[in-house]
Amino acid sequence: MICSRYRFSLYVILTIILGIFSWIVNKWLSIAISAFIMLLLVDLLYCLISRLFLRFDENLKVEIHTFGKIQEKTLKINRLHAKIITSCNTPENQAPVVIMHHGYGSNYRRMLVYAYPVALKGYAVLLYNARGHGKIVKVDGKPVDERSPGDKNHILNIMKDLRGIVHFIMERDDLGRIGFIGISLGAIVGLTYGATMQEIECVIAMAGMHDFKETANRKIRVLSTDWFMKKSFEWSGLEMQPTKLQDRLVSPVFYLDKKMGFFDHPVWDDGNAEKGRKQANKIHLIHAKDDCTVPFWNFLKNKEMLDLPKENYLVLEKGNHWFIKQEHLLLGQMMYWLDSCLLP
């Protein structure tokens, strides 16, 4: 990718030089050549962005590529667009199930890079679009609406929706012990409601936040990558100046080592250190040091608060917020954790 960036910069410089030279010869020729080259640069830029962010096309036809080894079922869970992925290695009864939750502004398709290998390992994988997320995609040339209704900026309701997903799993005979994998917003869901739900026996949080208010209000250099990321959240309508109450409702720091009280709010577990230790043991963290959206100190604070042993976390030097091109490392570690927590 670095070579691609250098090559793109070289193209821009050559375009400017060629434009100046052709302008001296003939200004109309200069305009025509420059316009043509700019179109090529735009196409190149789109290809680079696609390679960086778009891992799959809209119609994977994975059942064809895998000769029927993978099966997918689309369903609605409390109006949320969901999908269950299994494989020929998934048990027919009491199959261990892994819930996968995408990040803010994304959709379940971003988690397919993890879902298919985990399904082939013998798990049932349940993915869903959080409320207010999803899009209309084309499958076999026909539009398919994968949107989940609701407000994507109502983070607390997105967190609470996990209960409906778990309830759906508990009512099925073909699904058994439950694990959870979430990235970014999904990590918040996992480190809050996922951490306090006894039904979930393994929580893997990728790029997990510690304190939303502290993270959102950190000092950021103008026009830096962090600044643009924050602005993109603000432009989408997400509240980036939360009140103390809002912060307490959505920040993992106020849920870790606690249980849900009568009024659906985290409370101290009556000093029961054993239960707190059990909760910490099921939590696993993955973070990249160069994360520009959720800075690395969030991981350090979560790790310290939970007193996590080194077996329960994975730190990467590179990968940024979405762990692009680090998926193979994450998959190996995540499947080890899932096996340790969910398999007999």
Q: What is the pLDDT of residues 250-259, one digit of tens each?
A: 899 988 866 6
- Report the alpha-carbon distance of residue 155 to residue 188 in Å, rounded: 9
Cα distances (angstroms) measured from residue 20 to each of 12, 98, 134, 198, 213 = 13, 58, 46, 68, 50
Domain spans, the chain: 2-53, 62-342
Q: What is the 3-state secondary structure (H, E, C) of the chain?
A: CHHHHHHHHHHHHHHHHHHHHHHHHCHHHHHHHHHHHHHHHHHHHHHHHHHHHCCCCCCCCHHHHCCCCEEEEEEEECCEEEEEEEECCCCCCCEEEEEEECCCCCCHHHHHHHHHHHHHCCCEEEEECCCCCCCEEEECCEEEECCCCCCCCCHHHHHHHHHHHHHHHHCCCCEEEEEEEEECHHHHHHHHHHHHCCCEEEEEEECCCCCHHHHHCCCCCCCCHHHHHHHHHHHCCCCCCCCHHHHHHHCHHHCCCEEECCCCCEEECCCCHHHHHHHHHCEEEEEECCCCCCCCHHHHHHHHHHCCCHHHEEEECCCCCCCCCCHHHHHHHHHHHHHHHHCC
- Report the alpha-carbon distance of residue 218 to residue 241 in Å, rounded: 11
- Report the alpha-carbon distance of residue 238 to residue 152 in Å, rounded: 8
- Model confidence band, residue 238 (pLDDT cutoffs 50, 70, 90): confident
User: Which has the higher per-residue pLDDT, 38 or 190?
Assistant: 190
Of 235, 252, 240, 243, nearest to 182 by C-alpha is 252
User: Which has the higher per-residue pLDDT, 224 or 333?
Assistant: 333
pLDDT at 316: 96
- Model confidence band, residue 57 (pLDDT cutoffs 50, 70, 90): very low
Q: Tokens 């988690």 label which residue?
A: 111
Cβ(231)–Cβ(221) below 8 Å: no
Average pLDDT on 170-197 reads 95
pLDDT at 43: 67
* Bridge-based pairing state of the strands 313-316 and 283-288: parallel
Average pLDDT on 285-313 reads 94
Note the residue count of the chain.
344
Q: Name the CATH superfamily for 62-342.
A: Alpha/Beta hydrolase fold, catalytic domain (3.40.50.1820)
User: Which has the higher per-residue pLDDT, 50 or 217?
Assistant: 217
- Model confidence band, residue 225 (pLDDT cutoffs 50, 70, 90): confident
**Alpha-carbon dihedral 9, 12, 16, 22, rounded to 10 degrees:** 130
Q: What is the 3-state secondary structure (H, E, C) of 105-142?
A: CCCHHHHHHHHHHHHHCCCEEEEECCCCCCCEEEECCE
Cβ(193)–Cβ(215) below 8 Å: no
Average pLDDT on 199-216 reads 93
Long-range contacts of 223-228, Cβ-Cβ distance < 8 Å, separation of 24 or more: 224/292, 225/292, 226/292, 226/293
Average pLDDT on 122-148 reads 91
Token couple for 260: 């849900």
pTM of the entire predicted model: 0.81
